[in-house]
Amino acid sequence: MSQSPLPKVLLCAPSNAAIDEIARRIKEGYRGPEKRGDGLKVVRIGAQQSMNVSVKDISLDYLVDQGIDAPNDAGGGGEIGSIRQELEGIRSKKNLLHRSLEGSKDPIQYASIQSEIAALNARRTLLTGRLDSLKDEQKSASRTLDALRRSYRQKVLQEADVICSTLSGTGHEIIEQLDFDLIIVDEAAQAIELSTLIPLKYKCRRCILVGDPQQLPPTVISLEACVIAMLH
């Protein structure tokens, strides 16, 4: 007997600390008071530098990098650096040879220096052509990698059971194409009303606001206080 598909959930909280704690528990398989091994597919969206280390392995960027095994040196970046170093060496050597030409009165020596300069010019032309070719390859590889990342990012999000984000993070365009069966806002009593409205722009069947005003008193900020905070 096949099981019905799990509902797609958008789970939000006002702060990074709050959503990281929930994401970590879901990742580890917590279901109510129990902890089970069959964890849900959970993805934490947002800037990695703002996340707790315990949930970085389920961050969207990490999962995408793991999925496509993104190279660190796409497009021959190492060879580009080597060519630039050699071109700089050629430029310095040519400057020395030109100074030698100015003081040379020996026709044989003069011809030898001219020949060496010509060889350096030929080498520079060859290296410049190769450098331009590598730059074009690098741009093409970068565009291909960007397209691949966008495609895999959507795949990861589509396959996720639970997407975790701060309230402000739910406004990101990367999840605009998704439909959710359920939206949950944790620590709702701590959230500012306007930020709570952000995830509600998505179509969903149910929305649950979770918050205990006895445990965490509601955040009440007047319009005047908001304006003063923004100005400072």
pLDDT tens digits for range 173-190: 888 888 898 999 998 888
Domain residue ranges of the chain, discontinuous segments joined by +: 9-70+160-231, 77-150
Nearest to 153 by CA among 179, 172, 171, 174: 174
Please return the burial class of 104, using the count of CB atoms within 10 Å of its CB with bins 0-12, 13-18 and 19+. Answer: middle
Tens digit of each residue's pLDDT, the chain (232 residues): 445 567 789 999 999 999 999 999 888 876 666 555 566 889 999 988 889 999 999 999 989 888 776 444 444 557 888 888 888 898 888 888 888 877 777 788 888 888 898 999 999 999 988 888 888 887 777 777 788 888 888 999 999 999 999 999 998 888 888 889 899 999 888 888 888 889 988 878 888 888 876 666 655 554 454 444 444 4
Residue 37 has a pLDDT of 53
User: Do 7 and 181 meet the contact criterion of CB atoms below 8 Å apart?
Assistant: yes
The architecture that CATH gives domain 9-70+160-231 is: 3-Layer(aba) Sandwich (3.40)
pLDDT tens digits for range 37-59: 566 889 999 988 889 999 999 99
Residue 60 has a pLDDT of 92
User: Do 204 and 34 meet the contact criterion of CB atoms below 8 Å apart?
Assistant: no
Tell me if domain 9-70+160-231 and domain 77-150 are identical in fold. Answer: no
What's the topology of domain 77-150?
Answer: Methane Monooxygenase Hydroxylase; Chain G, domain 1 (1.20.58)
Compute the mean pLDDT over every residue in the chain, rounded to the nearest whole number.
80
Please return the burial class of 193, using the count of CB atoms within 10 Å of its CB with bins 0-12, 13-18 and 19+. Answer: exposed
| CA distance to 18, 61, 78, 128, 152, per residue, from 202 (Å) | 22, 22, 45, 52, 22
